[in-house]
Amino acid sequence: MIYNPGTNATEIQGEAVSATPPVSTNVLLFNGTEWAPGAGGGGGGTPATTVTGPDVYSAPAVVGTSLLYARQDHDHGLPAAPAPSLYAPFVPDFFLSTLPASVNWYSVAYGNGVFVAVAAGSTDAAYSTNGGQTWTLATLPASVNWYSVAYGNGVFVAVSYGSTDAAYSTNGGQTWTLATLPANVNWQSVAYGNGVFVAVAYGSTDAAYTLLSLNG
């Protein structure tokens, strides 16, 4: 929010602003009903970004259970963060989209502009190149319980529960190649980091890893 003397704001992030004028030592606090001037102070919250320039309010910081905006010309003990922002904390809005088959979708991963989902008890996978708005059906190489999928360095890898089957895709989930895990256990999760895919199993001491060699 930008504050200019003589200008009255009526709303911030959908919440009303009090008509009570602030004094020079005030900060703007949300009291659960409206934004109103108040004294700054501690509360143990995480300070938000402060932007430069006179008569500018920062992005919200947490003071106790309240959101706080602080003027840059009165720092109130709020240090500046590296990247200025004038927006409230992110709260996602979810919108409905339709997957291409009515199956037990179990895991989804993102990489290189593509979301990929896999399903349990099926050969079905799906990929979306427009942020999950629409999906295209793909076929996994075995009808097993695909429980987890991960992305790393251009490759999606999926593992299955109660099987030695794994699968990988190098073209954004469009086509898949079968790979073999080292034990027939309940592979439940796979993740990628630093050039390695690692999988772990439920109810077992088994784990598995593979270097990113495109050979499973």
Proportion of the chain above pLDDT 90, given as a percent = 53
Per-residue confidence (pLDDT) for residue 36, from 0 to 100: 80
Are residues 83 and 120 both part of a single domain? no
Provide the phi-psi class of 42: left if phi over 0, else alpha when psi is between -120 and 50, else beta: beta
Per-residue confidence (pLDDT) for residue 63, from 0 to 100: 37
Per-residue confidence (pLDDT) for residue 112, from 0 to 100: 97
> What's the rounded mean pLDDT across residues 124-150?
97
- Please determine, for residue 125, whether its predicted confidence score (pLDDT) is greater than 90: yes
Per-residue confidence (pLDDT) for residue 18, from 0 to 100: 81
For tokens 């299955």, name the residue. Answer: 160
Per-residue confidence (pLDDT) for residue 32, from 0 to 100: 73
Of 45, 63, 91, the position where a domain reaches its end is 91
183: in domain: yes
Average per-residue pLDDT in the chain?
78
- Please determine, for residue 24, whether its predicted confidence score (pLDDT) is greater than 90: no
Distance CA 154, CA 111 (A): 7
Per-residue confidence (pLDDT) for residue 213, from 0 to 100: 53
How many separate helices (H) and strands (E) can be counted in the chain?
0, 14
From the number of C-beta atoms within 10 Å of its C-beta (0-12, 13-18, 19+), residue 147 rates as buried
At residue 68, φ and ψ (nearest 5 deg) are -130, 135
Are residues 196 and 117 both part of a single domain? yes
Of 31, 56, 91, the position where a domain reaches its end is 91
Distance CA 197, CA 50 (A): 40
- In the chain, the number of structural domains is 2
- Please determine, for residue 205, whether its predicted confidence score (pLDDT) is greater than 50: yes
DSSP state of 71: B
Q: Range with the lowest mean pLDDT among 71-85, 91-105, 125-139?
A: 71-85
Q: 87: domain range?
A: 7-91
- CATH number of 165's domain: 2.120.10.80
Are residues 113 and 202 both part of a single domain? yes
Tell me if residue 167 falls in helix, strand or coil: strand
Q: What is the pLDDT of residues 38-91, one digit of tens each?
A: 775 544 444 433 333 443 343 443 333 333 444 444 444 444 444 444 445 667
- Please determine, for residue 21, whether its predicted confidence score (pLDDT) is greater than 60: yes
> What's the rounded mean pLDDT across residues 119-131?
97
- pLDDT category at 200 given cuts 50, 70, 90 is very high
142: in domain: yes
Are residues 54 and 131 both part of a single domain? no
96: in domain: no
- pTM of the complete model: 0.59
Per-residue confidence (pLDDT) for residue 8, from 0 to 100: 62
- pLDDT category at 199 given cuts 50, 70, 90 is very high
- pLDDT category at 9 given cuts 50, 70, 90 is low
- pLDDT category at 147 given cuts 50, 70, 90 is very high
